[in-house]
Structure 1
Amino acid sequence: MYIAQAYNILHDWWRYIVGVIIAVTGVFIFSLPHFVAIGIETVKGNIDQSKMNDASYIMGLFEPNLNLVFVLLPFTGGLLLLLLAVKFLHKQAIKHLTTTRDKIDWKRFWFIFLVWGTVSSSFVLVHYYINPEDFQLNFNLVPFLILCVIAIILVPLQTSFEEYLFRGYLMQGIGIVAKNKWVPLIITSLVFGLLHIANPEVDKLGSVIMIYYIGTGLFLGILTLMDEGMELALGFHAANNLFTALLVTADWTAFQTHSILKDMSDPEKMGVMEIFVPVFVVFPILLFILSKKYNWKNWKDKLFGEVIKPQKEDYRTLEEIGSK
């Protein structure tokens, strides 16, 4: 039903290509302040041109709070223009891009947000307790409070852009073209993961980290298809990035912030368990818990079944719902 809702809008395949181009244009426009700032620093001679291919160097060019704004602004632009494309190019209500329910279920969002925020923070704190030498206390009240304001406003916009683009827009668009559910699930997960290849973490940890990125995309896609809506994926992703930005940073991560802790460990010595355990242990456990809480059934059809165009009677009903 979630993918089939796209039959109720203007869903020509070319519209999705145009929509993606519009979203990417938003990303580019809102990247201009960062480009201008880099240009100014280059003119001043404050930038080492030999390091411009080093992603972690670029991520640390400016004061951390200012740098975080530069990093997150493009996602805000992408989200804004994507939602405009959804509304005017496809004539689709944001609610129907988000969920099959009568209204967006914010209880779902906040449940997984709090659960994953607690679990992910616990992992960091346990690591800190076991290996305190791997961390440095990084807390500074005023910069941290400024970080909180920036992160609470912009991080959810960043994660929402990625979710609405991959688990929403492309999941529905590819689904009605492929007429099944597994093709959009696989494609969106792969593309989501591969787009993280420019992150500085990949330089330090190697290509094995792509298993985590692609696995996370697959997990979020399964959440969306099984739950017939994006609320859980939106909440999980927001919690994952927000708690990380506030709790721990490192010189080799995409988010270099005024967080409470700074990871000083050697990333090249990070064990594969820290990459594999979330994907192959923690995520399946979460899926099991959520399946019990929300009574998910018929996994095979929801993940691998056909996308069936609604009958004329159902189509009218969907139109009536969409007009409300």
Structure 2
Amino acid sequence: MKHLTRAFDGQNQWWKYLVVIIVAVIVGQIVGAIPLIVVIGVSVAMNGGQVATPENAMDLSAYGIDPNLGLALMVIPFIVMLVLAIVLIKAFHQRTSKDVVNGGRSFRWNRFGLGVAVWGVIMLVLFFAQLLISPEDLEFRFDPAAFIPLVFVAVLLIPIQSGTEEFIFRGYLAQGVAGWTKRVWAAILIPSVLFALMHAANPEVKEHGFWMMMPSYFVFGVAFAITAVLDDGIELAIGIHAVNNTLGALLVTSKESAIQVPSLFFQQETDPVNDAVVLVVSSVIMLIILKVILKWDFSILAKKIEAPMVVDEA
């Protein structure tokens, strides 16, 4: 467990995590949102100050902003967050970005690609199954002039958003919890709860309710965390998270989606209970597939995290 034991270094004080999270996440979101606020202000002014209040706060088209530009602007806070997190973690914990990703090794692109491939195939199978079973729920809205730019924006920028969340929750915070508790289950569950709560302001939560949506975010967080623990690094989780958000943006949107873009299809109605059940089943299938491919030992999840042996150089 080189990834989790990286926090056993005497630099794991709780107040350091508090400072890093407050500055990187909160300040990063505020500073990173400035370009979006400026663009909204300019767009509103150009429209004579007359705008309709959107039902979904993420629907920037209500302000006269192109959805693809809006998506790019919404990723900027995550870029600022990531940069601040890397700088502050180095200053407060003497850990590099590599340390947070997998304990100090080079980034394993093969693991990232594997995550993209496995979860991408599962998503596509589920999508085509829905298209065959309930075609009336999906309205085809292909607009080449809008969709082609979306492909470039989504593929280039959404992985940064996903990677930032994984870096902070499955990387940095998981290491901190591991250092404090020395329990794998705690390093999985606690960051997953915080990950779910971070999404509490999403439009889906407003539409369907806090207690209806939190289990789905939590389940996904746990799935990401399990892959990070068993694979001793977060590259797989980044790949899974990135393809989930990217394909999700390209394939289907709905009135309550957090990402309002010109997707291929518009879903008329969503069923959060059905979506949660499908997510649990597909996450289990994903973990089984990865276990077979990577020969994981699930007994690791029940083990205590031991501090690494220190060899004296006499």
Q: Which residue of 2 aligns with 1:237?
A: 241
Q: Which residue of 1 aligns with 2:306?
A: 308
Structure 1's 38 and 116: CA in aligned 2 closer, same or farther, altered over 3 A? Answer: same
Identity of aligned residues (%): 33
Structure 1's 9 and 240: CA in aligned 2 closer, same or farther, altered over 3 A? Answer: farther
Q: Which residue of 1 aligns with 2:227?
A: 223
Q: Which residue of 2 aligns with 1:157?
A: 160
Q: Using the alignment, how far apart are the partners of 1:165 and 1:46 within structure 2?
A: 39
Displacement, 1:131? 2.2
Q: Which residue of 2 aligns with 1:274?
A: 275
The question of 1:131 aligning with 2:129 is answered no
- Of residues 93-102 and 133-142 in structure 1, the stretch that sits farther from structure 2 once superposed is 93-102
Q: Which residue of 1 aligns with 2:295?
A: 295
Q: Using the alignment, how far apart are the partners of 1:30 and 1:312 within structure 2?
A: 41
Q: Using the alignment, how far apart are the partners of 1:154 and 1:121 within structure 2?
A: 21
Q: Using the alignment, how far apart are the partners of 2:70 and 2:228 within structure 1?
A: 32
Displacement, 1:240? 0.2
- Of residues 23-32 and 128-137 in structure 1, the stretch that sits farther from structure 2 once superposed is 128-137
Q: Is this contact kept in 2: 1:59–1:254, CA < 8 A?
A: no
Displacement, 1:102? 4.1
What is the SS of the residue equivalent to 2:50?
coil
Displacement, 1:284? 1.4
Q: Which residue of 2 aligns with 1:33?
A: 35
Q: Is this contact kept in 2: 1:60–1:256, CA < 8 A?
A: no
Question: Which consecutive residues of structure 1, in runs of 5 or more, have no partner in the other structure?
Answer: 317-324
Q: Which residue of 2 aligns with 1:70?
A: 73
Q: Which residue of 1 aligns with 2:261?
A: 257
Q: Which residue of 1 aligns with 2:7?
A: 6
Q: Using the alignment, how far apart are the partners of 2:159 and 2:298 within structure 1?
A: 31
RMSD, aligned α-carbons? 2.3
Q: Using the alignment, how far apart are the partners of 2:69 and 2:105 within structure 1?
A: 40
Q: 54, 57, 60: which one pairs with 1:55?
A: 57
Q: 79, 84, 89: which one pairs with 1:86?
A: 89
TM-score scaled by length of structure 2: 0.89
Q: Using the alignment, how far apart are the partners of 2:121 and 2:285 within structure 1?
A: 15
Q: Is this contact kept in 1: 2:36–2:73, CA < 8 A?
A: yes
Aligned AA for 1:139? F
Aligned AA for 1:76? I
Structure 1's 16 and 82: CA in aligned 2 closer, same or farther, altered over 3 A? Answer: same
Displacement, 1:110? 0.4
Q: Using the alignment, how far apart are the partners of 1:212 and 1:266 within structure 2?
A: 17
Displacement, 1:46? 2.7
- Of residues 251-260 and 134-143 in structure 1, the stretch that sits farther from structure 2 once superposed is 134-143
Q: Using the alignment, how far apart are the partners of 2:50 and 2:73 within structure 1?
A: 18
